[in-house]
Amino acid sequence: MSVAETREFNPGLFLAGGPLPVGSLSPHLLILNQPITSFEVFSRLWKHTQYRICADGGANRLYDMLDGTLKAAREDYLPNAIHGDLDSLRDDVRQYYTSHGVEVSQDHDQYSTDFGKAMKKISLIHSPSSQREILVLGTLAGRIDQGIGLLHEMIREETRDTKLRLWLFSESSVSFILKSTHNVIRGTASTGFFTENIGLLPIYGPAIITTSGLEWDVKDWETQMGHQVSTSNHIAAEEIHVQTSAPILFTVERTPLATSVQTRVDPESA
């Protein structure tokens, strides 16, 4: 398998306290209208991103998280934009962010979600040929239809733009799409950011997979929802290799990061 045919993933880079490696793409951060359950995860994702956008009521979530002992840090975490149909954005939140120079823009399209609207907004700051990494701060809890809808929108966006890669940071996991090629996942065993628990989920249709680096590896294994699925597998090596014939969702459980919410936080050193 040539290097050109291999896709590499290292989700631990975005959770590290230090800077991204030299030469890495600087991702964007998309905050959805869902609870932000960990300030530490949020602040590290913020640190590693260059453009931050709230999808409509995601601005409410950001504003409300930075309250109490964190209220003094609210001005340190001003997004670049708030975008959507704005039916969820509270008046007090809108007034606060507009008074601090944050762009607030509206899209009345009734055939797209606020996630889709925000993705379209992000696309305007890129050339069509450029690589893009977007960290999505959201959830798969709550309403099942919305969680499945989010996973649907992830594959739709990556299918539309082959140079796009989405990373979903939910309450306890990091999830991303493995395409029909050779995929290598690094940094999950030694960084301390993840547990051993992973899943290979064929939610986008049937696939045939071959793996190495897992406790229960498979070879030319047919996987399909309603048939056999590799959930609750375990990491057994520093590198995980997955060859798949069709897109599948890879998900790995995070370990809790240390909490330090009692003091003012510098977003450049979080």
What residue ranges define each of the domains in the chain, with the CATH number in brackets?
Answer: 26-171 (3.40.50.10240), 176-255 (2.60.120.320)
CA distances from 3 to 8, 92, 212 (A): 10, 51, 18
Six-digit token pair at 17? 């306290």
| pLDDT attached to residue 2 | 42
| pLDDT attached to residue 1 | 39
SS3 141: coil
**Based on the number of CB atoms within 10 Å of its own CB, is 250 exposed (0-12), middle (13-18) or buried (19 or more)?**
buried
Angle between helix axes 91-99 and 58-65 (nearest 10 degrees) is: 80
SS3 38: coil
| pLDDT attached to residue 270 | 46
- pLDDT truncated to tens, each residue of the chain (270 aa)? 344 479 999 999 999 999 999 888 889 999 999 999 999 999 999 999 999 999 999 999 999 999 999 999 999 999 999 999 999 999 999 999 999 999 999 999 888 999 999 999 999 887 666 789 999 999 888 788 888 999 999 999 999 999 999 999 999 999 999 999 999 999 999 899 999 999 999 999 999 999 999 999 999 999 999 999 999 999 999 999 999 999 999 999 999 986 433 333 445 544
Residue whose structure tokens are 């090629």: 181
| pLDDT attached to residue 142 | 75
| pLDDT attached to residue 127 | 66
pTM for the whole structure:
0.92
| pLDDT attached to residue 267 | 53
| pLDDT attached to residue 141 | 80
